């Protein structure tokens, strides 16, 4: 096991202690895996600005970003409700070809919704070629979040027509939607 691999694994282990960035700085050859681990660590810890600064700094010297680089950045944009940065990351998603990744497209759907851009959220969902249960759950939750319970139930019906197996998360969102519809009905 290489030194970079060992140090990368330690990034997540040391995230709670807050010294992940110092550990990253010690990696002699920072590969994409170590960068992705550090970005995810910053976002998980709620240090969104540090994640963004790291991305901007490294973007000057490299261009080999992938879905695992961009997905945490989309989560960061969601956390601070910054659709402008989200659109910038979306451009990188297209540029890197990561738009075919279900996890990245799902993060786009979520980011646009949390930033109040429900139309863009729905468009990103509709453009997805492959939709897993997480993608369907995300779109249902987006509509529930915006008080559009009937649309949420419509997405659930479409999910059933496509014979996608639902999860506990699906049922939770659908129950919320039913509660709202019943309350107004």
List the single range of 4-8, 101-105, 118-122, 140-144 with lowest mean pLDDT. 4-8
pLDDT higher than 80, residue 18 = no
- The pLDDT tens digits for 88-129 are 999 989 988 888 889 999 999 999 999 999 999 999 999 999
Residue 96: what pLDDT? 85
Binned at pLDDT 50, 70 and 90, residue 185 comes out as low
Question: Among 63, 2, 75, 72, which residue's Cα sits nearest to residue 38?
Answer: 72
Residue 130: what pLDDT? 92
- The H-assigned helical ranges of 45-82 are 48-59, 67-79
The alpha carbons of the chain give a radius of gyration, in whole angstroms, of: 18
Q: What is the DSSP letter of 137?
A: H
User: How buried is 154 (Cβ within 10 angstroms: 0-12 exposed, 13-18 middle, 19+ buried)?
Assistant: middle
Residue 156: what pLDDT? 98
Instruction: Give the chain's mean pLDDT.
Output: 86
- The predicted model gives 61-73 an average pLDDT of 87
């Amino acid at each position: 096991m290489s030194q970079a691999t060992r140090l990368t694994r330690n990034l997540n282990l040391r995230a709670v202690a807050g010294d992940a960035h110092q550990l990253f700085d010690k990696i002699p050859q920072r590969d994409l895996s170590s960068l992705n681990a550090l970005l995810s660590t910053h976002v998980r810890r709620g240090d969104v600005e540090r994640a963004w600064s790291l991305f901007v700094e490294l973007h000057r010297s490299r261009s080999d970003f992938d879905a695992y680089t961009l997905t945490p950045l989309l989560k960061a944009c969601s956390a601070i409700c910054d659709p402008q940065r989200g659109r910038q990351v979306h451009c990188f998603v297209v540029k890197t070809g990561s738009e075919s990744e279900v996890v990245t497209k799902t993060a786009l759907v979520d980011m646009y919704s949390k930033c109040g851009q429900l139309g863009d959220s729905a468009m990103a969902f509709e453009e997805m070629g492959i939709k897993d249960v997480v993608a369907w759950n995300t779109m249902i939750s987006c509509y529930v979040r915006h008080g559009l319970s009937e649309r949420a139930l419509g997405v659930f019906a479409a999910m059933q027509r496509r014979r996608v197996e639902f999860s506990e998360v699906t049922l939770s969102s659908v129950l919320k939607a039913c509660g709202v519809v019943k309350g107004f009905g």
